[in-house]
Structure 1
């Protein structure tokens, strides 16, 4: 082999090694910051325009009801307790909205681990995986969902406000380490590389889960 060819192989090897190190770092850090967030998930009865509109009305009233308590919350544990002691109230508020709009759907609120796909929140990209979340399921829960981050309290930021992106970053920085924040924050020009890395991590996690399931079955 000539020196030029060896140089190309060495260069490619360095690139691959660096990429895998970067992906490994993302994999480890995303485990950490997933434990620092609580998401809010509202699932509509169906994808019909009326059911989707109802979902947003339920969302608005639940957020409005919880806002005063979450504005005072200073920690993940405190926010978790607020949710737990208000699950009945959340169902009551949602049920009232549903009934006042002429529907008789059941509604169920619970706090637990929920699997999410990769989602963007302004300049913040949250990778796919399991997150702790407050779920409000309307009726059959077969419709498209709406979501936000409940802690830190990003749900209560006006998404039409031009300062939303800056406020979002500040709220995230308040609960994440600098390294964790840098893993999920991306400028527009960096968006595709970050999403690609998250996708690779997602594939690796799926493969790991399948292998573990096979071992359990044996």
Structure 2
């Protein structure tokens, strides 16, 4: 009985300490966190990403992925570069889906492989990713994906709308001014500021810090749940 009582006391002290830490984190400005989340949600709905996923991480499969990328972009670039909105880009991608798959299959066969090719256009969850001078937050993005073979390898990706894939694929990077120009056609100044790596304002840094702290708070709450489960087990 004494052992049980001691366990209960230790448990309650632990919960108290976690609750105290939690309270401090709750001092983070809730409005700032909500503002950041709203910006992220808006960005997700205004872009179409392009991903080419390799069969594996072997050098051969990764090189094949880049060859497929180059030929597909060579074909689709003239059709997408003057697109005026996301609906038009989506329509162009759908109309050319069969042709893109044929191009990918042809490149694969010419290089001595017999991998199948799958293409999809839909929403996928992606982690935080840097692209040139911008960083896209984690979230569900609309993406056109070319999956080669088993699709177990690393992927190459870019932003298909607005058409940033076609600025400088040879170097694998895009000029900042071109990025800003294209992104601001579809994003507000505030939304672009949130993903801009070069001219982030103090306010943007505060938002990121607030989200970071809020994440720590969430982890503490999960830890509390874990402690409770262990106690009753």
Provide TM-score, normalisation by structure 2.
0.74
1:198 CA displacement: 5.9
Pick aligned residue for 1:164 from 162, 171, 175: 175
Contact 2:164 2:174 in 1 (8 A): no
Measure the CA separation in 2 of the matches of 1:109 and 1:69: 18
Match of 1:61 in 2: 71
3-state secondary structure, aligned to 2:185? helix
Measure the CA separation in 1 of the matches of 2:196 and 2:100: 31
Measure the CA separation in 2 of the matches of 1:138 and 1:161: 20
Match of 2:91 in 1: 81
1:24 CA displacement: 1.4
List aligned pairs for 1:198-217, cutoff 5 A: none
Larger radius of gyration: 2
CA deviation map 1:113-141 (0-9, x unaligned): 11111011222110011100001000000
Match of 1:45 in 2: 55
- Root-mean-square deviation (CA, aligned residues, Å) is 3.1
Give unpaired runs (5+ residues) of structure 1: 1-12, 207-218
Give unpaired runs (5+ residues) of structure 2: 1-23, 220-233
Pick aligned residue for 2:101 from 85, 91, 94: 91
Name the CA shift for 1:161/1:92 in 2 (closer, same or farther; >3 Å). closer
Q: How many residues align?
A: 194
1:165 CA displacement: 1.4
Name the structure with the higher helix share: 1
CA deviation map 1:25-82 (0-9, x unaligned): 1101111111000000111000100000000110111111001101221110000001
Match of 1:154 in 2: 164
